[in-house]
Amino acid sequence: MNNEELKQIIEAVLFATDEPLSMNRLMSLFPEDSNPGRDAIKQAIAAIQEDYKNRSLELKEVGSGYRFQVKQDYAHWSAKLWEERPARYSRATLETLALIAYRQPITRGEIEEVRGVSVSSQIIKSLMERDWIKVVGHRDVPGKPALYATTREFLDYFNLKGLDELPTLAELRDIDAINAELELTMPPEETPPSPDVAPNDLESVAQPDPEHDEPNLDSHAETNQAKQSPVATLENEAVIEEPLTAEN
């Protein structure tokens, strides 16, 4: 097959799928005797990306592979098609997610040590239910606490190819910026203070230790509903020692 035909095939299957397709998955679509090969498919993808350069759609590579999505400039228009608003996450949830992204693998106890407050089980549960984090092992210490890390779904949702695309700590700003853009609502998830704590002391109990407070994620995220619908773009996580990249 010629390059133009290959480009049209790749474009068609990426439009038809409801999830990102990895390079290996794209190659598996062709029979062995007529497989165009990895390089030819990459060239076809690059040609498609060039074709859509001045369009409202783009062919984007994220953690799980390639997908078509609405460009960020038009994401707020396509988001109007979905009446249901995304859940709103508390500061505690976003700080916990940021710590896992920055310091993975990390235990719940290590998160609590940095934040200075207990981490509610509901926070961990909600992040795992969204498939943003997963257990990747256990720390070799008494009790064998679980080690948490981010997932490919995390990368896909926040429109990232790999963790190396997350902003550096110096680029991160206020955690409230995430709430403003993600428009997320969940009830407060902090562990209630001990009953013997006086009301006037509540504020001090809830505050993280300033000496250990972790910088928070900044967000460029739009809702990721338009190809789920992939309109999402949070280009905002953290750099990690071993970047997770898309399967090639």
- By CB atoms closer than 10 A (0-12, 13-18, 19+), residue 241 is exposed
Q: What is the pLDDT of residue 68?
A: 94
- pLDDT confidence of residue 195: 47
Domain 91-163+176-206 has CATH 3.40.50.1820: no
Q: β-strand 65-70 against 133-138: which pairing, if any? A: unpaired
Q: What is the pLDDT along the chain (248 residues), one digit of tens a residue?
A: 788 899 999 999 999 998 999 999 999 999 988 888 899 999 999 999 999 999 999 999 998 899 999 998 888 888 788 766 666 778 889 889 989 998 999 999 999 998 889 999 999 999 999 999 999 999 999 989 999 999 999 988 888 888 888 877 666 555 555 555 444 444 444 444 444 444 444 344 344 444 444 444 444 444 344 444 333 333 333 333 344 444 44
Q: Are 132 and 105 in contact (CB under 8 A)?
A: no
- Tokens 């480009």 locate to 7
Q: Which amino acid is at 32?
A: E
| pTM exceeds cut of 0.75 | no
Query: If we measure between CA atoms, which residue out of 1, 211, 185 comes closest to residue 93?
Result: 185
What's the pLDDT score for residue 176?
A: 54
Q: Where are the domains of the chain?
A: 91-163+176-206
Which residues fall within 8 angstroms of residue 175, CB to CB, at 6 or more apart?
91, 94, 95, 98, 216, 217
pLDDT at residue 100 in the model: 93
